[in-house]
Structure 1
Amino acid sequence: MKKTVTKLKANVRVFIIALIFMMITQIIMGVVLISMSNKQLREQINARMLDTANAAASQIDGDAVKRLTEEDMQSAGYNKTLITLRLFQQNIKLDYIYLVKIDEGDKFSFLIDPDTERPGQYGEPIKTTDAMINAANGRADADKEAYRDEWGRFYSAYSPVWDSNGDVAALVGVDFNADKYDEELNQHKAVVVIISMIATTIIIGVVIVMHTFALEGEKAAYRKELDETLKREKVQEQELGSVRQLAYTDPLTGVKSKRAYLEAIERLDREISAGSSAGFGVIVFDLNGLKNINDTLGHEEGDRYIQAGSALICDIFSHSPVFRIGGDEFVVLLEGKDYESGEKLLSEFNKKIEENLHSGKVVVSTGLDEFDPRFDISFSAVFERADKKMYERKCYLKTIAV
């Protein structure tokens, strides 16, 4: 009898220890899932805001907004930018999007606010944040902490708007309501807590009845949550993919944008610093006579001239990335197959241009140079040599055009 009682007490102790262990495990898993959910949600919001800000910035004419003053608030340039911002606000899930004016001394103010209820007025100061300063220096960034102003409490992201000289003309700001974020996070926490409680109850019942199938309920709940999370991530990735495509594509020509060009330069500089560059060439292109066409025939005709030049570049250099880096400037990076036959392709291109000189078609000046590992310590050294050759070619074309 005593042995039986002892055995029963031992079984009770084992059951209690197993139960406590399972409850502690559930609590730890709940804490881990909540932490992962919080981090994942914050990263998704940052990515959504940055991609939206980058896409909007790529659609805005930096030269036009740089010239805007308070007297231009109803001009064609102002209305075009206002419509662009309003389209983003209406078609992408966000709270606010607006154009920021860069003032002196790390100060910022509203330039254009498409909000229809309480728009920020031209010149109205905006609270300065680290992300705003980074964007003004040319690097898109998102705030790490929420801030509060008269419109509410927000997480924000900012992206630079470039002008044709490669300077930051203004910033696109995107706001996400921090209270909505907290609400969504609390919903995630509630789901995790409920799932953990259900799993714990199932485990207790199963242990009492038998010591098998202890984790099946928990696994099923976890798999369901994981499947739902993966489905949400897939939908969000599809949404973000279309926004990224806008940010890295020049809207007029369809070639790669200046943002894509800057990322390519960063990659090549890293390879040069690491001594792992396989070699590359740079061709600088400049469209002759674009300013005269814009001044005499109008900007629509100038846009068609840019598109014709871009099409000719893409036709000849079909295996290399083509970037539009300014109003009339393009760059081709020669890597792989086109790098080996760069001189031949350029000769074919220049021959076509010389034929165009007397036919009224697009004329493009070019300059090619290649990376030399013995002397070059950065991409800019190769670019500068190619740019110099392009100007020499431009002078030559003027002499034979007479």
Structure 2
Amino acid sequence: MVRISIDNVEVEVDANASVLDAARKLGIDVPAMCHLAEHRPNTSCMCCLVRVDGAAGFVPSCATRVREGMQVESESREVHALRRTGIELLLADHAGDCHAPCQNTCPAKMDIPNMLRLVADGNYSAALATVKRDIALPAILGRVCPEICEQACRRGQHDSPAAICQIKRFVADRDLNSEHPYQPVLLPDSGKHVAVIGSGPTGLTAIYHLRQAGHRCTLFDAADEAGGRLKYEFSAELPLDVLWAEANAIFSLGVDLRFGTTITSAGARDTKSLNSLVTEFDAVLLATGNEAADWSAAGVTMTKSGVRVDAATRMTSRDGVFAAGNAVRPYKLAVQSVAEGKLAAECIDCWLRNVAPPDRRKTYETRLARLTKQEVCDFCEGSLPTARVERSLLTRDDSEAAARSEAERCLECDCRALANCLLHHYAAQYDCDAQH
């Protein structure tokens, strides 16, 4: 056994170990994309560089054997800069999409390709679970969403895009009409209680995700029933029975409903004040939609468009009070409000658990440029030549065959190895330039 020091931390390892082995023993995540355990070092990626005392320059840690008393520098700014260069050189030859164009365009970032694969395989329950990870109201959005994801579908450059929204609607309707509609798994009771003001798409979505995180929820709304903007902005496209069905599915997770209750900044006559909610609950979410009140009297800073929030945490100027959706700024699309509700729930959950919200800026995304006509033909080679299924065939009671046929038209533009892609992981970790 020999003892070495990495970034002034000592570690004891076998005499035949590499510096990479020693670093991993200390829990240091050194990028090594060409390294395989029990195989000779390849040293082709040159991303695992370290500085070793006595060496003229930087050396690959995977191919450098330890020696007694060795001093290693792994996490310095200089070392990281060289690793970043190595990763960006690999990225220079990388062609492909981390996520499919349709998923990148969807405001809710739903895993559209996976949903389509599952529908094509006839696995509707898994398809519905995939949808509901990001979209709490798929039957509603399947009727009111303007299908912006389909505008990015690569199949549209060839003939016509996949009918993504209608397939989502098919999956959601099938579930709502089943004997046992989908119920997400709820974590054990956290002991925390959240007040949600507003039962529109943002509020309903936030409750859906907060309940899964184990937090109790009480919903307040001045109206006598749920829906918010969904009831009056989309009345022509959205049957009320569909709205009630999806709202009740969320309420069945265990929600205290306080309809006909007006919440105001100061608590005027026949109303409840925001101050009282802050005292009574562990967190409060303002999801009051387009008719957002002025909460300044309760210590909440307002802007011309709505409530001012921290972009990273969605918290207002008042501790424990959050805001999202049209209460913050006008959103035309219901799917944007749904995305806002999920984001707010994630931020509230982090705050209640006293952990920092994920840094959404620290992401990496490789995207192909718009394909040429020839590239589109090459991309579509081997795909099913079938035409897009008519909308009417996807909304009938016997639409299963049509849905599977339409789902099979998907070109599967997404990366199937993204979950365990080391290049993607380290490109984000080292803040690499996607255009390098």
Q: Which bin holds the TM-score, normalised by the shorter protein?
A: under 0.3
- Judging by fraction of residues, say which structure has more helix: 1
Query: RCO greater where, 1 or 2, for CA within 8 Å and sep 6 or more?
Result: 2
Which of these two proteins has the greater Rg computed from alpha carbons?
1
| Alignment TM-score, normalising by the size of structure 1 | 0.25
TM-score, scaled relative to structure 2: 0.23
